[in-house]
Structure 1
């Protein structure tokens, strides 16, 4: 539940990326809904989905990974991959020179994270969408509300915490050899 709630908070950032990213947000919302349905069913008596590791273990034991494409494990993996893009993008906004525009940063992060999981048409659509991203100054205003100097260290800590969560989940998938699931 904490992962789902945290991701919902990250979705607020998607709203600031412009209308072109509505389809991305809608896809994430759909995937979060799938995860939420598993968690909600769990609240009715079982505890298979009260932690991510238990969910992956349960679906592995029940042989659900390959038989049901709408399972918890695959759905979470897709969100997990997108989380790495967000980590890289938010980090890029912090670390890359101000002379580098938002679209360039986003493209670099996409190529390093999600590119290999998408087909040609999606790749091209995503890269075209990046051209519509707000400027670095506009995103700085959204993120820092005019207080970049005071909030910058908190922002870097936020990215570091998200990366730690990512790394933990990555280890669960690596242990089961599920990182290449479609």
Structure 2
């Protein structure tokens, strides 16, 4: 019994460390290999899924899936709102998209859900920067001014900061970059907790989730489906793993082992079968792809893909 408890404790420590390093260290490495891997994956998977062609004949996205915290319709609405303006990304719905993706990860179980804690902290950083900037537009507000309590705020401040982003300096990705550069918040030689650098971390994590959902939506020709655990691990290996240490990669493998079976995802999005699941997930993947590509373009234009 003592051995089992020690093993369980060791696993918990590993997973907690994974959640911290997932975005703290793992997403801070150079981007080139991640983007190259993304392009290679896209070249392999350019063939359209046959289920997409029949989308009009299948049920629409449910407005609400009873009994589920994560709602695919809410995620889609936020993603579409984030990419409304041409060649830009609106930050308030972008962050709201992450709120819904966090619910998605937490629905997969406590082990996978541990990863979401760092994503919450990153979205909170951007929201608090937006809120402080809105209160004092001329000040050079940096992450050092954010208190521990303000960063841990997950409800009331989230609504207030979201409202400030609608018209403030942090309204969109381009406006945030323009303001942070002008105020000296972005340093190209040392690490800073600016909104721009935080977006980089979220941007890389979004690629991992996009690829996982894309793989989960695929219908293999022979009808032999691989497990979500295997698909998530493969998506991770093609995106984030190349930037993680051996220790973090092993911890990630342990988290993915606990992922639910495919039938769980049917219930999660109210899909009757794999064909309907594919339709729903392909819509999500397409919407994520627009936001991801738009973010990539804006960051590249401003020379921010190599921020330390």
Question: Does TM, normalized by the shorter one, top 0.5?
Answer: yes
Residue 62 of structure 1 corresponds to 183
Count of paired positions: 182
Partners of 1:126 and 1:151 in 2: CA distance: 25
Partners of 2:296 and 2:273 in 1: CA distance: 33
Query: In the superposition, relative to structure 1, how do residues 180 and 107 fare at CA in structure 2: closer, same or farther (>3 Å)?
Result: farther
- Of stretches 146-155 and 6-15 in structure 1, the one that deviates more from structure 2 is 146-155
User: Rg: which structure is higher?
Assistant: 2
Q: CA RMSD in A?
A: 2.0
8 A contact 1:102–1:133 mirrored in 2: yes
Partners of 1:100 and 1:180 in 2: CA distance: 35
For residue 45 of structure 1, report the CA deviation from its aligned partner. Answer: 5.8
Partners of 1:45 and 1:14 in 2: CA distance: 35
Residue 235 of structure 2 corresponds to 109
What is the SS of the residue equivalent to 1:123? helix
8 A contact 2:108–2:259 mirrored in 1: yes
Residue 216 of structure 2 corresponds to 93
Q: Unaligned regions of 5+ residues in structure 1, if any?
A: none
* More relative contact order, 1 or 2 (CA 8 Å, 6+ apart): 2
Residue 197 of structure 2 corresponds to residue 74 of structure 1: yes
The two structures have a TM-score, normalised by structure 2, of 0.54
Q: 1:98-135: CA deviations, max 9, x gaps?
A: 53111221111111111233222111111221111111
Partners of 2:258 and 2:209 in 1: CA distance: 17
Q: Unaligned regions of 5+ residues in structure 2, if any?
A: 1-91, 138-167
Partners of 1:160 and 1:115 in 2: CA distance: 23
Residue 35 of structure 1 corresponds to 126
